[in-house]
Amino acid sequence: MKFNTVLEIDLKKLYENAYILSKSYSDYEYILTSLKDNAYGMGLKIVNTLVSAGVNYLLVGPINDALEIRKYNHEIKILVNYYVDIDNVYDAINNNIALTIPSVDYLKKINELDLKDDLIVHILIDNGSNKMGIGSKEELKEIIDIIDNNKHLVLEGFYSDLTSLGIEDEFYYHQVNKFYSLINEYINRDLIIHLNEPLMYHKKLDYINGIRFDLSLIGIEENVNENIFTNLKIKNIEKKYGDLEFPDIDLKLIFSITSEVMQVGYISKGDLIGRNYIAKENMDVAIIPIGHKDGITKAIKFVGINNYKRDIIADDIDHIIVKANDVKVHDKVYIVNEEREIYDFLTILKTNRYYLMSVLNRNLSKIYINDDYEKKDSYL
């Protein structure tokens, strides 16, 4: 007997989110999206939904993801963020894929190749967050000189990854200032200069023509705590740097995780349930086929069955056990949906949205719904 636990991805909602963001930030010429980590678990086949809604550039992690995207779309611009082995440089050239230059040494290895066709590159700048990238003007000048002296190396852009929203601290301003200080003498070259989601909360910088979205597209914005201390921090930031801009947009969670009751039973007080829970009372229980391997543990506290919250009392690698009466085998179980907000998970698990999406739903079967979005403008 088969029991289904699925990740359901609503392409209509994805289209609406991408369309709203593209229109809301239309003062940027380039609307980019990061599809790292298999599009944060959503699968790379969502690319055409994004393109139809206004996204005109993609950033991926490994080059294999870029090559996979080429199976679905041959035209969209793609930038690979991760290091690419020298042997795979020709794959990038043959498939019109741009590569990231994170260091002088890496560029020198590419420069030693006998290139017959153009290779498009973007230079990754370390803006002071101590991640990968070029961190000095001397390094950047050496890289620019190498590119300028190789007729088959085409510099298309500069970019960096801001690690602070700049809502509760000043690091955003330090990072964008460091970024500008490194690239300012080259910004008249008609390049794509792009930064990531923290731009959403700040006035547009004149020299930036690309904004790069990631988890906002799937409906998970940065969750800023609303309390008196946060408000005071925001006021101090605004007093020093000017008003922040909180986008007035309604983004929808594009996915849900559902399962079904696999087994029901009765437990007596004092019985061991799972590995470490001893029943404090007589109770009915239900076993759900989703567990640690899917990023779900008893830490999420409850699931929904038949319009009621059901407390999770034990968990394991491939199942959870919930306290539940009046349920039967194959009853639908709601793990994540619009009613059970993803922000509730973030609060309960005391984590951030990137870590959550790195562990959630990796082993689940994917189902795509509303895949006729591309020909319909009536959604909005």
Q: Which residues pair with 97 in a beta bridge?
A: 78
Q: Please give the CATH architecture assigned to the domain spanning 10-241.
A: Alpha-Beta Barrel (3.20)
Q: Where are the domains of the chain?
A: 10-241, 255-340
Question: Any idea which residue has 């201390």 for tokens?
Answer: 229
| Length of the chain as a residue count | 380
pLDDT higher than 50, residue 276? yes
- This prediction has a pTM of 0.91
From the CB of residue 358, how many other CB atoms can be counted at a distance below 10 Å? 15
The beta strand positions in 236-319, using DSSP E, are 255-260, 263-267, 272-273, 277-278, 283-288, 302-305, 308-315
From the CB of residue 301, how many other CB atoms can be counted at a distance below 10 Å? 14
Amino acid at 86: I
Average pLDDT along the chain? 91
d(CA 18, CA 217): 6
Please give the pLDDT value at position 378.
37
Helix/strand/coil for 137: helix
How confident is the model over 222-232, as pLDDT tens digits? Answer: 766 677 777 88
Q: Indicate the pLDDT class of residue 375, thresholds 50, 70 and 90.
A: very low
Q: In what order do the strands lie in the sheet with 6-10?
A: 263-267, 283-288, 320-323, 308-315, 302-305, 332-336, 255-260, 6-10, 365-369
For residue 61, what are its two tokens? 């992690």
Q: Domain spanning 255-340: which superfamily?
A: Lyase, Ornithine Decarboxylase; Chain A, domain 1 (2.40.37.10)
List the single range of 1-10, 96-105, 306-315 with lowest mean pLDDT.
1-10
Radius of gyration of the CA atoms of the chain, in A: 24
Of 19, 21, 15, the closest CA to residue 373 belongs to 15
For residue 26, give the DSSP letter. T
